[in-house]
């Protein structure tokens, strides 16, 4: 029984985690009529599937294409800016001694834990006054505000583990402080940089609250918010199968990123947990 305990536990966890995903995939292959007639089961009531028709309709939808472009552009820009700023800030926190160092880290952690919903109202009024409502920059700024603290914490743990002597050796060989940082320290902290970038990208890609509150048209509306505006044959019928197909397509980039960089993600999240 002890030998079977681990496989059974793992199987139960996998079923619990993957069942909603499998159910959404099954919905994406159902015909819209089989869902609207009230069939809650995994299999269609008439036993027939819609095949790839739902995915074709979603992919041909101009609204969805625009949402993909918005999500990619906003997420990549927010990720790049957050990682650059967080790398410099984390290096300063890890290497330099200055007054208020602990307070900076505490404030960063407090900002990361701040409820997102409480900022929607003030940001809505501010962005309309500043003229950046329903724009890419209007979403990039709040994304950076909430991802920078986590990125700083992740990267500062990596920088603390890098021996100070390696940077000094580079400077002895003639490298400037900036060259030593760029060519020696940053490559050694690559797992942390990847982790910070991926976590930032996940937050921006999956955000719904800011996306639906700080946009009013398809000019900057990202995928999660855009799905809320998918319409069916009439205003009272939601295209559940098309929404499921769109959700599956929107999830594919996240799955691909995790599969490719899973080792770096684990290394980044576990850095500093064990002292050698």
Same domain flag for 119 and 235: yes
Question: Which residues 6+ apart lie within 8 Å of 116 measured at CB?
Answer: 146, 209, 210
Same domain flag for 100 and 172: yes
Same domain flag for 143 and 14: no
Same domain flag for 182 and 236: yes
Residue 121 pLDDT exceeds 80: yes
At 273 the pLDDT is: 45
Q: Is residue 142 part of a domain?
A: yes
Side-chain-facing half-sphere of 16: CA atoms under 13 Å: 6
Same domain flag for 64 and 41: no
Same domain flag for 99 and 64: yes
Same domain flag for 23 and 65: no
At 274 the pLDDT is: 43
At 229 the pLDDT is: 84
Q: Is residue 276 part of a domain?
A: no
Q: What is the CATH number of the domain that holds 186?
A: 1.10.3720.10
Global pTM value: 0.82
Q: Is residue 4 part of a domain?
A: yes
At which residue do the structure tokens 């950046």 appear?
A: 132
Same domain flag for 180 and 44: no
Closest CA to 188 of 208, 215, 170, 210: 170
Digit-coded pLDDT (tens) for 155-188: 887 888 878 777 778 878 787 878 888 888 888 8
At 169 the pLDDT is: 83
For residues 109-124, average pLDDT? 82
Digit-coded pLDDT (tens) for 66-110: 999 999 999 999 999 999 998 888 888 887 777 777 777 777 777
Residue 142 pLDDT exceeds 80: yes
Same domain flag for 151 and 28: no
What are all long-range contacts of 5-14, with beta carbons under 8 Å and residues at least 24 apart?
Answer: none
Q: Is residue 72 part of a domain?
A: yes
Let me know the angle formed at the C-alpha of 19 by 15 and 21, rounded to the nearest 5 degrees.
Answer: 130
Q: Is residue 196 part of a domain?
A: yes
The answer to whether the beta carbons of residues 193 and 83 sit under 8 Å apart is yes
**Which residue, 9, 33, 51, sits at the end of a domain?**
51
Q: Is residue 275 part of a domain?
A: no
Q: Is residue 90 part of a domain?
A: yes
Q: What share of the chain is helix, strand, coil (3-state, %, to 5)?
A: 75, 0, 25
Digit-coded pLDDT (tens) for 215-274: 988 889 999 998 888 876 666 667 778 888 888 888 888 888 878 877 766 665 555 444
Same domain flag for 15 and 144: no
Same domain flag for 66 and 38: no
Digit-coded pLDDT (tens) for 23-45: 888 888 887 776 666 555 666 65
At 276 the pLDDT is: 41
Q: Is residue 35 part of a domain?
A: yes
Same domain flag for 94 and 2: no
Structural domain count, the chain: 2
Question: Residue 11 sits in which domain range?
Answer: 1-51
Q: Bigger pLDDT: 188 or 205? A: 205
């Amino acid at each position: 029984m002890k030998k079977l305990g681990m496989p059974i536990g793992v199987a139960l966890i996998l079923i619990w985690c993957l069942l909603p995903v499998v159910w959404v995939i099954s919905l994406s292959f159902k015909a819209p009529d089989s869902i609207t007639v009230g069939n809650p089961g995994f299999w269609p009531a008439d036993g027939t599937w819609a095949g790839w028709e739902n995915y074709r309709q979603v992919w041909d939808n101009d609204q969805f294409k625009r949402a993909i472009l918005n999500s990619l552009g906003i997420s990549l820009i927010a990720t790049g800016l957050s990682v650059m700023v967080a790398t410099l800030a984390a290096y300063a926190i890890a290497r330099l001694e200055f007054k208020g160092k602990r307070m900076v880290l505490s404030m960063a952690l407090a900002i990361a834990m701040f409820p997102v919903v409480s900022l929607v109202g003030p940001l809505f009024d501010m962005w309309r006054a500043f003229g950046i409502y329903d724009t890419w920059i209007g979403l990039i700024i709040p994304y950076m505000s909430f991802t920078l603290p986590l990125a700083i914490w992740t990267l500062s743990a990596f920088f603390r583990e890098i021996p100070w002597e390696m940077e000094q050796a580079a400077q002895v060989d003639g490298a400037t402080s900036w060259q030593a940082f760029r060519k020696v320290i940053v490559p050694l902290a690559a797992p942390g940089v990847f982790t910070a970038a991926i976590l930032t990208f996940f937050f921006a890609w999956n955000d719904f609250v800011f996306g639906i509150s700080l946009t009013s048209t398809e000019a900057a509306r990202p995928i999660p918010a855009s799905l809320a505006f998918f319409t069916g044959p009439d205003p009272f019928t939601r295209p559940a199968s098309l929404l499921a197909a769109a959700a599956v397509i929107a999830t594919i980039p996240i799955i691909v990123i995790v599969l490719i960089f899973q080792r770096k993600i684990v290394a980044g999240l576990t850095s500093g947990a064990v002292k050698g």
